[in-house]
Amino acid sequence: MIVLRKYATIFSISLAERLTYRTDFFLGTLIRFMPIVTTIFLWGAIFAGSDRTRIAGFTSDEIIAYYLLIMVSRAFSSMPGLASGIAFDIREGNIKKYLTQPIDMLGFLLTSRIAHKLVYYSIASVPFAIVFFLCREFFPGWPPPTVLAAYVISLALAFVIGFLFEALLGVLGFWMLEISSLLWVVNTLNYLLNGHMFPLDLVPGPLGVLIRLLPFQYMAYFPAMLFLRGAEMSTMELALAVGGELLCAVALWVAVRYLFARGVRHYSAFGG
Amino acid sequence: MKEAGSRYVRLYLSLARYCFVRELSFRGNFLVRCAGQSLWLVLILTFFQLIFLNTRRIGDWSHNDYLFFMGTSFLVNGTVSGLFLVNCTNLSELIRTGDLDFALTKPIDEQFLLSTQRVDWSNLPNLFVGGALVLYAWQRSGNWPTILQGINYVLLLIAGVAVLYSLMLMMASSSVWIVRNRSLHEMWFYVTQFARYPADIYLSHGGGRVLYFVLMYLLPVLLAITTPARYGVKMVEWPMVLYLFLAAGVSLAVSRWFFRFALSAYRSASS
Amino acid sequence: MPVIEVDNLCKTYRVVQRSEEGLLASFRGLFRRRYKSVQAVQRISFEIEPGEMVAFLGPNGAGKTTTLKMLAGLIHPTSGSAQVLGFTPSERSNEYRRRFALVMGQKNQLWWDLPARESFRLHREIYTIPTSQFESVVGELSDLLSLGDLVDQPVRELSLGERMKMELVAALLHSPRVLFLDEPTIGLDVVAQTQLRDFLRRYNRRHEVTVLLTSHYMKDVESLCERAIVINHGKIVHDGSLAAILNRFSQHKILKLQFLEDAPEEVGRYGDLLEVRGPVARLRVDRAEIATTLAAILDRHRLEDITVEEVPMEEVIAEVFRSGEFQAVSPDETVASSATSS
């Protein structure tokens, strides 16, 4: 009960903090949709120059739907500033605060992230709804309820995986003084590997197969494809696919916990 | 007048040199940043190579034309980022924290000092790759420009840079009124993303034409890359070329006015 | 002819009213913001003669930095006028900017990752200082501050005190006629503070530069300035010699008595007892009664040692700001009290 109240307090403070940047909030939400506009036009021009009706298995409508769904995936899985924040706390010694107070650092960060995300959704859902309504023609229609349920679960897991992925990078700060360049390189690669830049199906041959086996896809590509192609899958296949994502989340969680514990030990041995 | 000009050139060269020395004293970090830049270029090239496996044209740009477009885009963006992005980000940061003071006490043009303090040399890969792509595309098409056309192309690149710099300076100056925690860096990415692809892809659709009109004539970001690239590929289209030069002049003047206006507002608002 | 003339200078600005705490309040803040105007500086006037070193004293937020920034042309005055070396600072002409320098203790203007020498070279370009003059000034200042090879070390590797010395050199390269120093010794250790003070005093004497400085450290002020302008809530509450402040506001001296044995209990009878530690007692005694008090004590007790001290400047100033005297000077400070400068 007390633990619950502790995290509830963190939650509401984070919420209040988020709301203070008001101009930024509206602007930021709006501006996030601008790349979609260019993407629509770019793919329009690509299909216009091609004699095919499908590219990498996508019709011109599906490709737009794909990019829109990627926006949704990323709204869940992207965690701006999390890794650099953790590394900063380690470098500046702020981490002592977590080690001396009866609070778990990762739990604290997760709680405040959830608060941040909820504020974001509460404001961003309006422009999201408008954009999706305007773009409804690109979608084939609502998927069946089981697919929808699997989709919602996959998004929740995308949030968890995104959080753990960034936390994993941040925890590297225990051993590396400066991780900002590394973060930049990893994020650039992630942009391609998670399917944010283009559908992973565009990559031909064994390389394409390999990319779709990597865990990065769960942060963007996987939920989007579940929504688009889920109807073609059996319930068993859906469950297996989501189970794979869950497995990935668990593996990441173990890895982060392990590295964090090692890091703390390393820190108290050398960093003090 | 002439003396003042040479003073500014000298000052700029020293600044650029200091930045280079500074980069070299953190060689590891510098190299990682260069590698990151190169990686990004590779991703873009990969994407379009994959696209051209599936199509022969994007709008009316053939594969070869498109390589030329990307080369031009790397050249312009690399120059803008290398020379101005750090400085404008820094400017908006100085405004936000109220630390503009030192720059304002110096007996020198503030716009010059604030937009040239740093040179981000890690954008060099952009210029190398961009230059190589442009030459490769010219070579492949067998359509080499004359010397005059080559000079013209370079002038157009500079005009494109001027247009983007003006816009960036205005965005940075606007921090006097707009409080945001989002960095200029990020904003810049969103604003210029329209210019990343050839401008004519927007013409296929009614709404796109409105966008095209706005971004071509009111906030001429589309102009900055498409026009030099088109000139390099087609060597014609004089009206667009002249318009780019005009737009560069006007944007520079407007942004200078806006910058000074922001400074005076900053000075009456701060404590 | 005064170097600095300030006449009825005012600065008022608008700040966002901080919203109340809590979730609901921040939601409300999304849609409506309240502003209030703050009078940071209210009708201040003073004149400073060439070569003078004047201290600007006052608590945080009194308007010291704001005034300094107005004199440096960084911010526009709301009303009133200021003239420095015959220039109007807010016009910020290049001729004026070549003739003054501003040093702020909390901020640095040197290139962090490069040796200070490189930053000096940059200043030479910016201020177009002839090479011969540049070399001789750098030489002179390095001597005065005994910098040695430090100018060739990256600034980030220097101690705070060394860095501050470099800041001063950078600011003095163009031989300014007026020097504005905002908390130049803040955060420095005692040795570095003393070095900087000595340097400033010698430099001022040699070059007759006019200096206006703000400081928290009364030692700076006592050792450098004969004149102090005390400012509170944006208004000048005292302008004159430091000694005059002491006379005006400090009616007391401090008696430090060292007894042969433990200090007697009734020692408190002779004045305000500040502290007793073993045989040592410190008493605050009215200025006029020092002689009689001492006589009375010597009459009854055997003493090892006696010292008479002035009340430390810090305490006097603190007293000045606490005392009701200034409430009378500025009765309408309800708004200004929340002024924040610096």
Mean pLDDT of chain C: 82
For residue A114, tell me if it sits in a domain.
Answer: no
A81 touches B at CB < 8 Å: no
Which C residues in the span 84-113 are in contact with B, Cβ-Cβ below 8 Å? 90, 92, 94-95, 97-98, 100-102, 104, 107, 109, 111, 113
- When divided into structural domains, chain B yields a total of 1
Partners of residue A27 in chain B, C-beta under 8 Å: 180, 182
Domain residues for B95? 2-269
For residue C107, the tally of other CB atoms under 10 A from its CB is 14
Question: How far apart (Å, rounded) are the C-alpha atoms in residues C285 and C272?
Answer: 7
pLDDT, one tens digit per residue, over A63-114 is: 999 999 999 999 999 998 899 999 888 888 788 777 777 778 888 889 889 9
Region C148-168 average pLDDT: 90
Give the range among A45-54, A259-268, B261-270, C120-129 with minimum mean pLDDT: B261-270
Q: Looking at residue C328, what is its pLDDT? A: 35
Number of other residues whose CB lies within 10 A of the CB of residue C12:
19
**Backbone φ and ψ of A103, nearest 5°:** -145, 145
Q: What is the pLDDT of residue A24?
A: 59
Domain count within chain A: 1
A20 touching B, CB under 8 A? no
Q: C243 vs C21, C92, C222, CA distance in Å? A: 46, 36, 9
The predicted structure's pLDDT at residue A271: 54
Angle between helices A105-134 and A235-266 (to 10 degrees): 140
Distance CA B123, CA B120 (A): 6
> Which string of DSSP letters, residue by residue, matches A18-61?
HHT-HHHHHHHHHHTTHHHHHHHHHHHHHHHH-S-S-BTTB-HH
Q: Do B26 and C113 touch (CB under 8 A)?
A: yes
Q: What is the pLDDT of residues C53-110, one digit of tens each?
A: 999 888 777 888 889 999 999 888 999 999 999 999 988 898 999 999 999 887 888 8
**Average pLDDT, whole number, for chain B?**
88
Higher local confidence (pLDDT), C275 or B151: B151
Residue C330 pLDDT: 38
Write out the residue range of the structural domain in which residue A63 sits.
32-93+123-271
Å between C20 CA and nearest CA of chain A: 11
| Residues of chain B above pLDDT 70, percent | 96
Question: Which CATH class, in words, describes the domain spanning C251-310?
Answer: alpha beta
Which range has the worst mean pLDDT, B129-133, C7-11, C112-116? C112-116
Angle between helices A145-171 and A221-229 (to 10 degrees): 170
Q: What residue in C sits closest to A23 (Cα-Cα)? A: C30
What residues of chain B lie within 8 A of the CB of A33, using their CB? none
pLDDT in the model for residue C339:
35
pLDDT (tens digit per residue) in B206-254: 778 888 888 888 888 888 999 999 998 877 678 888 889 999 999 999 9
- Does residue A146 lie in a domain region? yes
C212 has pLDDT over 80: yes
State which residue of chain B sits closest to C65, comparing Cα positions. Answer: B271
Comparing alpha-carbon positions, the chain A residue that sits nearest to C30 is: A22
Which among A34, A47, A178 is the nearest to B190, CB-wise? A34
> Measured between beta carbons, which residues in chain C are less than 8 angstroms from residue A20?
19, 26, 29
Decide if A52 is inside a domain.
yes
CA torsion sign for A33, A35, A36, A38 is: positive
**Cα–Cα distance, C255 to C276 (Å, whole number):** 12
Residue A33 has φ and ψ, to the nearest 5°, of -90, -10
A15 touches C at CB < 8 Å: yes
Q: Where are the alpha helices (DSSP H) in chain A?
A: 2-19, 22-31, 34-49, 60-77, 82-92, 95-100, 105-134, 145-171, 180-193, 205-211, 221-229, 235-266
- Tell me the pLDDT tens digit for each residue of B168-216: 999 999 888 876 656 787 788 888 888 889 988 888 877 788 888 888 8
Degrees (nearest 5) of the Cα angle B86, B92, B97? 120
Whether the pLDDT of residue C337 is over 50: the answer is no
pLDDT of residue A272: 46
Minimal Cα distance from B194: which residue of A? A38
* pLDDT number for residue C326: 45
| Distance separating alpha carbons of residues B194 and A218, to the nearest angstrom | 28
Flag whether pLDDT at C313 surpasses 90.
no
**pLDDT of res. A140:** 85
Which residue is it, tokens 């963006």? B77
The beta-carbon neighbor of C30 closest among A12, A15, A19 is A19
- The pLDDT confidence band at residue B2, using thresholds 50, 70 and 90, is low
Dig out the tokens for A98 from the structure.
């977590």
Residues C13-24: what's their mean pLDDT? 63
Chain B positions in Cβ-Cβ contact with residue A23 (cut-off 8 Å): 178-180
With a pLDDT cut of 70, the percent of chain A lying above it is: 91
What are the sequence ranges of the domains in chain C?
4-8+45-247, 251-310
pLDDT in the model for residue B219: 83
Chain B residues with beta carbon closer than 8 angstroms to that of C66: 271
Q: Please tell me if residue A54 touches chain C, with a CB cutoff of 8 Å.
A: no
A16 occurs within a structural domain: no
Please state, in angstroms and rounded to a whole number, the distance separating the CA atoms of residues A192 and B190: 18
pLDDT digits (tens, 9 = 90+) for B34-73: 998 999 999 999 999 999 998 888 988 999 999 999 999 9
Assess whether pLDDT exceeds 50 at residue C334.
no
The answer to whether A56 contacts chain B (CB < 8 Å) is yes
State whether C126 and B106 contact (CB < 8 Å): yes
Q: Residue B15 has which token pair?
A: 């600044």
Q: To the nearest whole angstrom, how far is the Cα of C32 from the nearest Cα of chain A?
A: 10
Mean pLDDT of A216-226: 95
User: Which chain C residues have a beta carbon less than 8 Å from that of B101?
Assistant: 69, 72, 74, 102, 104, 107
How far is A166 from chain C, CA to nearest CA, in Å? 28
Q: Tell me what pLDDT residue C333 has.
A: 35
Structural domain contains residue A23: no
- Per residue in A144-186, pLDDT (tens digit) is 999 999 999 999 999 999 999 999 999 998 888 778 888 888 9
- The CATH architecture assigned to C4-8+45-247 reads 3-Layer(aba) Sandwich (3.40)
